């Protein structure tokens, strides 16, 4: 059956074809101007999704690279301090100790050396307080202030006192406290054997034993013994044993502060750590727990951990099964576990990174209530940067575990590993003309140097790791850019060919349409 084609039908069809070709041509022109294949989601929905996700990946990679750059700055500075600058100061101190250890130097010369040692102590203090972008790198997470402050501490040649200073009392608490300040080492000696108490006689000197001042001890309001010397108040636990110093020799002449002359105390400079630590136990917060319940957590927890009892539990019962849950994201998601009691009022629950112990021995009963929660707070000493997805690196350090010094009234490191204590005692020995003390310092400085270099080695390992992460991120960024370009960017050669073809097609449509629209029946009359 024949179909009649009217002028209107021809016109509409030709206009539609022209619009279609023009739209394709204009789309190619837009792609040429933006250099992008995808200019709106409708151009390629699947490609748009890939573009958006790849751009997110690139943004994350850029953030990781920024974190890596910052971490590099921290670690490079720490490495410079620990592997170069501090060892240089230690070598200078070793040279002083070698000189002071010989018998060719007298008291006046050792006092000159003491001035140099005090300057080196100040240099160590400055290095331990090094900051990066205004943050103290050796203060743990308390990086808003200096890691160390200068204070005073005791050194004693009396074995009983030395042990008490290092280990504290039977509960591990400090046995003494110092208040005040002194620009010189204060030497304290006792004039009679016995135990410390009210009216115990002692003498002190702040010029290396050239002149002595005799005083008597007093008791404070808590019953502790106080010794006042040169503006410094030494508070000591009562009944500490003391040994009399030999104050005159066989000829009746006054004896200076010999190395092992009775219970001799050196009140000398010290570095007091102000940062935070990684020391156990971990902080615990109990919510809804019965009175008297003791909870302890042990392990390596990277972030807060929540433990919840989902059922009532009687710890006196043997073999009771119960449900409990833990969360590592603040309670957004919980993992439910089945536990079992052992009947001895204690319970251990394994969690990611360690375990949580419950002790109901101090409770009236041993029932854990349903719904009670325990929050474990990990150490806050680490400042961590996310250098790759879910990969964190701690860049700061706990200064007391490297340099030592004093922390919470006790030496932060044992023995000769404690650099600040070795140097502080050395200053006391020099200002007290103690040759034997200088000899001991010489060996101790070499041990302390190994402690510093060991910490520098650990920093070097982190630097290697951060460099590897930096290389991986560079390759990752290049791959993401290539994937984005492949999905989104236009091929110019292909586009130019397409534009030429579309332009020719459009011109052909225009010309053919023009010719057809000029035809009429009058042409055939």
Estimate to the nearest angstrom the gap between the alpha carbon of 27 and the chain centroid.
Answer: 55
3-state secondary structure 45-64: HHHHHHHHHHHHHHHHHHHH
User: Could you report the average pLDDT of every consecutive run of 10 residues in the chain (525 residues)?
Assistant: 60 67 63 63 70 84 93 94 96 95 88 95 97 92 91 91 89 91 93 88 90 91 92 90 78 62 90 88 86 88 86 90 92 92 89 90 86 85 84 89 94 94 95 90 94 93 92 90 72 65 67 63 51
Omega cis (within 30) before 281? yes
362 phi and psi angles, rounded to 5 deg: -95, 5
- Which pLDDT score, from 0 to 100, does residue 344 have? 85
Helix (H, G, I), strand (E, B) or coil at 520: coil
- Which pLDDT score, from 0 to 100, does residue 515 have? 66
CB 419 within 8 A of CB 194: no
DSSP state string for 175-227: SEEEES--SS-EEEEESS-EE--TT-EEEEESSTTSS-EEEE-EE-TTS-EEE
Place of tokens 């044992």: 414
Instruction: Provide the total of helices (H) and of strands (E) in the chain, helices listed first.
Output: 8, 27
Measured N-to-C along each axis, helices 435-488 and 45-80 cross at an angle, to the nearest 10 degrees, of: 160
CB 273 within 8 A of CB 406: yes
Distance from C-alpha of 200 to C-alpha of 140, rounded to nearest angstrom: 42
- Which pLDDT score, from 0 to 100, does residue 127 have? 97
CATH class of the region 76-277+397-459: mainly alpha
Domain spans of the chain, in order of start: 7-35+490-524, 76-277+397-459, 283-378
Distance from C-alpha of 235 to C-alpha of 233, rounded to nearest angstrom: 6
- Residue 458 backbone zone (phi > 0: left; psi -120 to 50: alpha; other: beta): alpha
Within 10 angstroms of residue 250's Cβ, the number of other Cβ atoms is 6
pTM of the model: 0.77
């Amino acid at each position: 059956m024949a179909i009649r084609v009217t002028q209107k039908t021809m016109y509409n069809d030709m206009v539609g074809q022209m619009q279609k070709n023009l739209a394709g041509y204009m789309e190619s022109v837009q792609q040429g101007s933006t250099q992008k294949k995808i200019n709106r989601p409708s151009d390629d929905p699947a490609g748009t999704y890939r573009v958006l996700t790849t751009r997110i990946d690139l943004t994350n990679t850029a953030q990781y690279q920024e974190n890596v750059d910052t971490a590099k700055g921290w670690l490079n500075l720490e490495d410079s301090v620990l592997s170069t600058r501090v060892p240089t100061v230690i070598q200078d101190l070793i040279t002083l100790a070698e000189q002071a250890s010989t018998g060719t130097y007298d008291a006046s010369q050792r006092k000159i050396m003491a001035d140099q040692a005090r300057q080196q102590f100040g240099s160590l203090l400055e290095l331990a307080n090094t900051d990066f972008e205004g943050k103290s790198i050796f203060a743990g997470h308390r990086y808003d202030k200096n890691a160390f402050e200068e204070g005073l501490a005791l050194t004693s040649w009396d074995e009983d006192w030395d042990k008490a200073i290092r280990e504290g009392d039977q509960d591990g608490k400090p046995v003494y406290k110092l208040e005040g300040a002194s620009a010189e080492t204060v030497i304290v000696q006792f004039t009679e054997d016995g135990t410390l108490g009210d009216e115990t006689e002692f003498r002190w000197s702040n010029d290396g034993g050239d002149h002595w001042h005799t005083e008597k001890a007093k008791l404070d309001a808590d019953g502790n013994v106080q010794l006042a010397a040169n503006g410094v108040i030494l508070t000591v636990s009562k009944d500490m044993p003391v040994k009399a110093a030999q104050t005159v020799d066989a000829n009746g002449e006054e004896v200076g502060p010999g190395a092992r002359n009775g219970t001799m105390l050196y009140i000398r400079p010290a570095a007091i750590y102000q940062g935070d630590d990684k020391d156990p136990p971990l902080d615990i917060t109990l919510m809804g727990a019965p009175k008297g319940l003791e909870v302890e957590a042990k392990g390596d927890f990277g972030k807060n951990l929540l433990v919840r009892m989902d059922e009532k539990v009687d710890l006196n019962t043997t073999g009771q099964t119960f449900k409990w849950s833990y969360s590592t994201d603040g309670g957004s998601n919980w993992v439910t576990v089945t536990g079992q009691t052992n009947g001895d009022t204690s319970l251990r629950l394994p969690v990611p990174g360690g375990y949580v112990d419950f002790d109901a021995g101090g409770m009236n009963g041993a029932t854990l209530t349903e719904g009670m929660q325990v929050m474990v707070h990990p150490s806050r000493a680490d400042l961590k940067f996310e250098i790759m997805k879910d990969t964190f690196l701690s860049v700061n350090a706990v200064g007391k575990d490297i340099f030592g010094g004093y922390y919470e009234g006790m030496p932060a490191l044992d023995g000769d590993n404690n650099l600040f204590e070795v140097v502080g005692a050395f200053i006391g020995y020099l200002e007290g003309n103690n040759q034997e003390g200088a000899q001991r310092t010489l060996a101790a400085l070499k041990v302390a140097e190994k402690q510093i270099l060991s910490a520098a080695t650990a920093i070097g390992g982190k630097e290697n790791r951060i460099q590897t992460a930096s290389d991986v991120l560079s390759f990752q960024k290049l791959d993401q850019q290539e994937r984005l370009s492949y999905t989104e960017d236009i091929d110019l050669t292909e586009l130019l060919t397409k534009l030429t073809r579309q332009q020719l097609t459009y011109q052909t449509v225009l010309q053919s349409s023009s010719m057809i629209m000029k035809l009429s029946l009058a042409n055939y009359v």
